Amino acid sequence: MFVLIVNNNLPTISTTATRPNYYNRFTKQPKPKTSNSIELISDPISEVQKKYEVLSDIVTEYIGKVMVHNLIIQNNSISLVVYYEVHEGKRDEVKRKI
């Protein structure tokens, strides 16, 4: 003889219960539109370094990005092709400061 005991006091687990979504903390903000520009810096190495630092500081002030696209070394001079992007509408202000 077998006795089946049913206990109705146990908590039930719903399969439709909401589970924490760990990816909500990484909600994606829409990217702001950017303006791109290229500058060619050619001079002796020490001058190029100063000009690049000034350009980099100005672009970072406007929350932008700076990347060296190309580097050409000839004799004692250097040429940098610098690509930078800033928020749309800020490029003219950056150009004026340069």
Model confidence over 31-49: pLDDT tens digits?
Answer: 788 888 999 999 898 898 8
- Its pTM stands at 0.63
Domain boundaries, position 73:
32-97
Number of structural domains in the chain: 1
Domain membership of residue 81 (yes or no) is yes
Domain membership of residue 71 (yes or no) is yes
Burial group, residue 42, by CB count within 10 angstroms (0-12, 13-18, 19+): middle
Q: Which helix (H) or strand (E) holds 91?
A: helix 91-97
Model confidence over 50-98: pLDDT tens digits?
Answer: 999 999 999 999 989 999 888 888 887 889 899 999 998 888 888 888 7
- CA–CA dist 94, 62 (Å, integer): 8
CATH code of the domain containing 76: 3.30.70
